[in-house]
Amino acid sequence: MLEEQDAALLSKIDTELANKTMPLGALGQLQALAKQLALTQQNLFPSIQAAHLLLFAGDHGIAHEGVSAYPQEVTWQMVRNFLAGGAAVNCLARGNQLALRIIDAGVAHDFSDVKTPDMVHAKIALGTANFSKQEAMTPEQLQQCLRVGAQQVRALPKECNVVAFGEMGIANTSSAALLTSRITGFALADCVGRGTGLNDAQLKHKLSILERANALHATATTPEQYLAAFGGFEIAMMVGAMLQAQRQQLTVLVDGFITTAAVLVATAIEPRLKPLCVYSHQSAETGHRLALAYLDARPLLQLDLRLGEGSGAALALPLLRSACSIMSEMATFSSAQVDQANP
Amino acid sequence: MLEEQDAALLSKIDTELANKTMPLGALGQLQALAKQLALTQQNLFPSIQAAHLLLFAGDHGIAHEGVSAYPQEVTWQMVRNFLAGGAAVNCLARGNQLALRIIDAGVAHDFSDVKTPDMVHAKIALGTANFSKQEAMTPEQLQQCLRVGAQQVRALPKECNVVAFGEMGIANTSSAALLTSRITGFALADCVGRGTGLNDAQLKHKLSILERANALHATATTPEQYLAAFGGFEIAMMVGAMLQAQRQQLTVLVDGFITTAAVLVATAIEPRLKPLCVYSHQSAETGHRLALAYLDARPLLQLDLRLGEGSGAALALPLLRSACSIMSEMATFSSAQVDQANP
């Protein structure tokens, strides 16, 4: 699959890494990451510039079926929390030098009082339709999501070369579970998890609702049809943004289960997105492990996170910077006059 | 095991975390880390201040038995590389705001020309004795190591509350394997690995040398006797430094296999060190997994690193800062006016 240009660069990267003052391969997955970033940037000495987190928020009609431990109002309340800087992702993004933009993709709340440039008003509607009864969104709404998502990436500063993704949307593990199951072929029951903290009875209820919805939308067969069927607006916008990131050859830093569901859809549409994706972590949500396995992804962190928001992406970003520093700052055996391994 | 004071603080920490604007436990291991740091600092709002990496370097007589893929000279050459800022640990420490001090614990090389304050001249001897023939060090040398190690921690800036450990010493996975096997009771063969990159035949040779050495020192039964028997100077100094860190109640940020072997010895001497230790990563070296299991440790990263130097500790440090930021910067449900989970 590698193009000729990439094969030549890959060979240069391997030589450079082999000459660094350490045993061959001694930095394990960090070296693999360095290689990936060098290939993405087509530069032997990659760097992380103006990393941005795009946090898409949207509401879900399916929330009215009692599939989440939290009331739907928490979506807009958390958006206010993001804007005030008090959520987990704010702390983690600040501490790890990740700029944050909030996009209202379709929250069931009026944010017209919010004037800060950190918030993008791109509301498609006051939440998706209840997909246990009908399609989550119309074909027109889907196209609008994809277009507006792409705009968010085009609007990033020119120097930005890493775009991280996060989301907020009560009940969106339901959409993610269905998208994951339909695209990967894993059984829906294996893709449905406790989300923000369902108990056994609530989990059983969630699964029964989603099984019915799955049957209702049995005729959907393309990635776009899955998106329209199950939503949500925030996931569809992430897909549009990821497709644009592919066109701009940006590194896509993936967060948890919901974001990975968007990657499943986006890579099904455009497989050339795959080599650009860096998977920040493997979450505690059941379906995430399966989605990562399907994508042949090796996540950087395994911290049993199950928060979303882009929190895992923020936590992983320093590893990307470290990987770059290995390429650009480390001495070689000859420059440092260090002996190589015994023959 | 918790003292009453700790139990009260622990309850406060749990309440604080439960009130943060996220589902209960949604930050997984990062929350466990936040708790640990809060307990260590006896402060509901812990912070990472003036983190320092103490990198102890020493040579090993056992290197003359051909147990390493690299010639012994690489120890001093790499120390020069550390001093010049070109090694992996330099890049990673710089990038992650970790101050670095190099301690010559016993390198077989004259560093008297080195005048920088970042290098501590504490050479015990020009390498340990060959422990396949005799004890690696005398009881006096061991006491000197423990004393000088403790001094390095006492000499850290007053505000420093995290001390990370790293090491350099060709053949020191041999010492670490023997220390690990003797303290944990795991079979030596399971604790011996490829180190910097032995092939199958070299690994077999290493194991046979170490099996003989193990038998030679069968009468050693205390942690101190193991240290004297198998060395090295850098490991013994780390033990002394860790014991001092325990007395000062500092967080001890543990690197890879060699550093963990020092933790095994130090916690065998002083079990109250255990709750202060944060395990940065699980390395690719066979014995490290076993040592971590024995210590009931849950490492933060699994990146197949096998470099030492403190590289894993440097990579993990941002996670400690992030854990602290959760405690000190994140809003609560009531302060942010976010609804809690449905009853």
pLDDT at A196: 85
Q: Do B22 and A197 touch (CB under 8 A)?
A: no
pLDDT exceeds 90 at position A272: yes
Helices within chain A (DSSP H only) = 4-19, 28-41, 73-84, 88-95, 139-154, 172-184, 188-191, 200-216, 223-230, 233-247, 257-269, 286-294, 311-329, 333-336
pLDDT exceeds 60 at position A116: yes
Model-level ipTM above the cut of 0.90: yes
pLDDT at B311: 98
Q: Do A322 and B86 touch (CB under 8 A)?
A: no
Other Cβ atoms within 10 Å of A212 Cβ, number: 12
pLDDT at A341: 87
Phi, then psi, of A192 in degrees rounded to 5: -95, 130
Catalytic annotation, residues of B: 309
B322 contact residues in A (CB cutoff 8 A): 91-92, 95-96, 314-315
Nearest CA to B104 out of B113, B95, B96 is that of B113
Using DSSP's 3-state secondary structure scheme, residue A106 falls into strand
Quick check: is A309 catalytic? Answer: yes
Interface check A110 vs B, CB under 8 A: no
B335 contact residues in A (CB cutoff 8 A): 86
| DSSP H or E run through B288 | helix B286-294
Interface check B120 vs A, CB under 8 A: no
In angstroms, the CA B273 to CA A322 distance is 30
- Using a pLDDT cut of 90, give the percent of chain B over it: 95
Using DSSP's 3-state secondary structure scheme, residue A285 falls into coil
Q: Do B91 and A330 touch (CB under 8 A)?
A: yes
In angstroms, the CA B213 to CA B202 distance is 17
What's this model's pTM, rounded to 2 decimal places?
Answer: 0.97
Interface check B47 vs A, CB under 8 A: no
Question: In the beta sheet, which residues pair with residue B162?
Answer: B251
B:211-230 residues touching chain A, CB 8 A cutoff: none
Contact B295, B275 (CB under 8 A): no
At B246-289, the pLDDT tens digits run 999 999 999 999 999 999 999 999 999 999 999 999 998 989 99
Rounded to the nearest angstrom, the minimum Cα separation between A188 and chain B is 23
What does R_g of chain A's alpha carbons equal in angstroms?
21
DSSP B126-159: SS---TTTS-SS-HHHHHHHHHHHHHHHHTS-TT
At A85-110, the pLDDT tens digits run 999 999 999 999 999 999 999 999 99
Q: Which of A20, A30, A170, A328 to mutate to test the interface with B (most CBs of B within 10 A)?
A: A30
In angstroms, the CA A211 to CA A204 distance is 10
Contact B301, B312 (CB under 8 A): yes
- Determine the Cα angle at B109 with ends B107 and B112, to 5°: 105
- Determine the Cα angle at A337 with ends B315 and B123, to 5°: 70
B197 contact residues in A (CB cutoff 8 A): 23-26, 341
pLDDT exceeds 60 at position B35: yes
Burial of A52 per CB tally in 10 Å (0-12, 13-18, 19+): buried
What average pLDDT does range B226-230 have in this prediction? 98
Phi, then psi, of A191 in degrees rounded to 5: -100, -10
pLDDT at B263: 98
Residues 6+ apart with CB under 8 A from A204: none
Amino acid identity at B48:
I
pLDDT exceeds 80 at position B343: no
Partner residue opposite B27 with nearest CB, options A311, A329, A342 = A311
> Considering chain A, what is the average pLDDT of its residues?
96
pLDDT exceeds 80 at position B93: yes
Q: Angle A233-247/A257-269 helices, nearest 10 degrees?
A: 50
pLDDT exceeds 60 at position B2: no
pLDDT at A2: 52
Q: Which of A173, A305, A327 to mutate to test the interface with B (most CBs of B within 10 A)?
A: A305
At A71-84, the pLDDT tens digits run 999 999 999 999 99
At A283-307, the pLDDT tens digits run 989 899 999 999 999 999 999 999 9
Rounded to the nearest angstrom, the minimum Cα separation between A86 and chain B is 5
pLDDT exceeds 50 at position B1: no
Confidence of residue A3 (pLDDT cuts 50, 70, 90): low
Using DSSP's 3-state secondary structure scheme, residue A192 falls into coil
In angstroms, the CA B307 to CA A27 distance is 6
Contact A232, A60 (CB under 8 A): yes
Confidence of residue A5 (pLDDT cuts 50, 70, 90): confident
At B281-337, the pLDDT tens digits run 999 898 999 999 999 999 999 999 999 999 999 999 999 999 999 999 999 999 999
Q: What tokens appear for A124 in the block?
A: 């498609």
Cis peptide before B232 (omega within 30 of 0): yes
Q: Do A197 and B24 touch (CB under 8 A)?
A: yes
In angstroms, the CA A43 to CA B341 distance is 47
What average pLDDT does range B193-203 have in this prediction? 92
Which DSSP category does B198 fall into? -
pLDDT at A284: 87
pLDDT at A79: 98
What average pLDDT does range A1-9 have in this prediction? 74
Residues 6+ apart with CB under 8 A from B315: A30, A318, A319, A322, B92, B96, B280, B281, B301, B303, B305
Amino acid identity at A61:
G
pLDDT at B306: 95
Contact B162, B218 (CB under 8 A): no
Rounded to the nearest angstrom, the minimum Cα separation between B134 and chain A is 26
Q: Do B338 and A197 touch (CB under 8 A)?
A: no
Contact B325, A91 (CB under 8 A): yes
In angstroms, the CA B171 to CA B232 distance is 10
Amino acid identity at A117:
P
CA pseudo-torsion sign A31, A36, A39, A40: negative
Q: Do A91 and B22 touch (CB under 8 A)?
A: no
Which DSSP category does A64 fall into? G
- Using a pLDDT cut of 70, give the percent of chain B over it: 99
pLDDT exceeds 70 at position A54: yes
CA pseudo-torsion sign B311, B312, B315, B318: negative
pLDDT exceeds 60 at position A1: no
pLDDT at B341: 87
Using DSSP's 3-state secondary structure scheme, residue A284 falls into coil
Q: Do A90 and B329 touch (CB under 8 A)?
A: yes
Contact A26, B307 (CB under 8 A): yes
In angstroms, the CA A257 to CA A291 distance is 8
B325 contact residues in A (CB cutoff 8 A): 91-92, 94-95
Confidence of residue A195 (pLDDT cuts 50, 70, 90): confident
Interface check A303 vs B, CB under 8 A: yes
In angstroms, the CA A153 to CA A137 distance is 23
Any idea of the CA torsion for A203, A207, A213, A218, to the nearest 10 degrees? 150
